[in-house]
């Protein structure tokens, strides 16, 4: 993950100013907001006056606001997520601010409040929404969900890529299956379980982003969730190989197959005729990788 600094006590950061205008616009929030998350003084007020946030240890002073802005193989991709670093007493802490529609924000706040007691998910603090803007007919009013920051090293897509090019010595997959099973056992289908929503801290895995979740319906949902996770991460690997002009052979091929052999048995995976496997298959450009991925159809 890469983060681009937007604002700080010393003003707008050079890393943000140096972006092209079109890239700056892509990272900024769109529509009417209950607060301007890029304004340090307003954010200080929210952190100190909102009960769920202000009760966390003392007066807070915002030091830096950054946007989640990952560079994928030369292409910019943006999520409306902000990492906020603030000073509290004699230490620095971080918190996440996620720009969301009202119903999605309330839904994720409720789900995370329950799940964080037993599962590796972010702890939610508060969903800030200005209902008065909505009453005054402002267009596309969004809220801000504040939650704990998962101090991660990389996401599942990147983890698979690092494993396949031999940057990692061993696969740490058991905690993934435990975390996913806990979500399903709570009656929740994540419904967007792609690689960037599984974060690795170096010791354990966390699951994030539940705004598309639905009630868990059983075996078919298991197939769908796993097919999306493996398919999305395989497409990421495919794009990496294409960007770096690497073919799917030797170590990469052996390690990708080892990943499947180790990952799938954790779930007793039986794909059958799954719509997502076929959909991701059409997105894979490397024919050798596509052939290896296509073995999921007969597993």
CATH of residue 230: 1.10.510
| 218 or 207, greater pLDDT | 207
Q: What is the pLDDT of residue 208?
A: 95
- Looking at the fold, whether 199 and 122 belong to one and the same domain comes out as no
Q: What is the pLDDT of residue 77?
A: 61
- Looking at the fold, whether 143 and 7 belong to one and the same domain comes out as yes
Number of domains the chain is built from: 2
- Looking at the fold, whether 143 and 91 belong to one and the same domain comes out as yes
Residue ending a domain, among 100, 133, 148, is: 148
- Looking at the fold, whether 20 and 110 belong to one and the same domain comes out as yes
Residue ending a domain, among 148, 169, 188, is: 148
pLDDT at 296 over 90: no
- Looking at the fold, whether 238 and 194 belong to one and the same domain comes out as yes
Domain range spanning residue 179? 154-298
- Looking at the fold, whether 15 and 110 belong to one and the same domain comes out as yes
- Looking at the fold, whether 167 and 144 belong to one and the same domain comes out as no
pLDDT at 253 over 80: yes
Mean pLDDT of the 164-168 span: 95
Average pLDDT, the chain: 88
- Looking at the fold, whether 158 and 134 belong to one and the same domain comes out as no
- Looking at the fold, whether 70 and 159 belong to one and the same domain comes out as no
- Looking at the fold, whether 30 and 73 belong to one and the same domain comes out as yes
Band (pLDDT 50/70/90 cuts) for residue 268 is confident
Best-predicted range by mean pLDDT (42-51, 54-63, 154-163): 154-163
Please report where in the chains the tokens 């030091």 appear, as a residue. 63
- Looking at the fold, whether 105 and 194 belong to one and the same domain comes out as no
Best-predicted range by mean pLDDT (38-47, 215-224, 281-290): 281-290
| 292 or 133, greater pLDDT | 292
pLDDT at 174 over 90: no
pLDDT at 26 over 80: no
Q: What percent of the chain has pLDDT over 70?
A: 91
- Looking at the fold, whether 141 and 194 belong to one and the same domain comes out as no
């Amino acid at each position: 993950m890469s983060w681009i600094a937007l604002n700080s006590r010393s003003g707008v950061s050079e890393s943000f100013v140096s972006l092209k205008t079109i890239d700056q616009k892509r990272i900024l929030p769109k529509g009417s907001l209950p607060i301007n998350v890029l304004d340090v003084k307003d954010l200080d007020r929210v952190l100190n006056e909102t009960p769920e946030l202000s009760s966390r240890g003392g007066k807070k002073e915002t030091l830096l606001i950054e946007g989640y802005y990952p560079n994928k193989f030369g292409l910019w991709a943006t999520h409306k997520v902000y990492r906020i670093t603030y000073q509290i007493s004699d230490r620095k802490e971080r918190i996440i601010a996620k720009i969301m529609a009202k119903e999605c924000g309330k839904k994720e706040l409720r789900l995370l409040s329950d799940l964080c007691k037993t599962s590796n998910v972010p702890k939610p603090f508060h969903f800030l929404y200005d209902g008065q803007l909505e009453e005054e007919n402002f267009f596309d009013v969004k809220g801000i969900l504040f939650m704990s920051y998962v101090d991660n090293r990389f996401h599942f897509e990147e983890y698979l890529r690092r494993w396949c090019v031999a940057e990692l010595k061993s696969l740490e997959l058991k905690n993934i299956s435990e975390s996913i099973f806990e979500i399903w056992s709570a009656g929740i289908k994540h419904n967007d379980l792609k690689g960037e929503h599984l974060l690795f801290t170096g010791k354990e895995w966390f699951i994030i982003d539940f705004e598309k979740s639905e009630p868990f319906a059983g075996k078919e949902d298991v197939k769908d969730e796993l097919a999306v996770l493996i398919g999305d991460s395989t497409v990421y690997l495919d794009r990496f190989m294409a960007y770096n002009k690497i073919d799917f052979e030797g170590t990469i091929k052996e390690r990708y197959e080892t990943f499947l052999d180790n990952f799938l048995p954790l779930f007793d995976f039986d794909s059958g005729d799954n719509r997502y496997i076929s959909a991701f298959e059409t997105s894979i450009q490397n024919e050798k990788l596509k052939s290896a991925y296509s073995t999921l159809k007969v597993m």
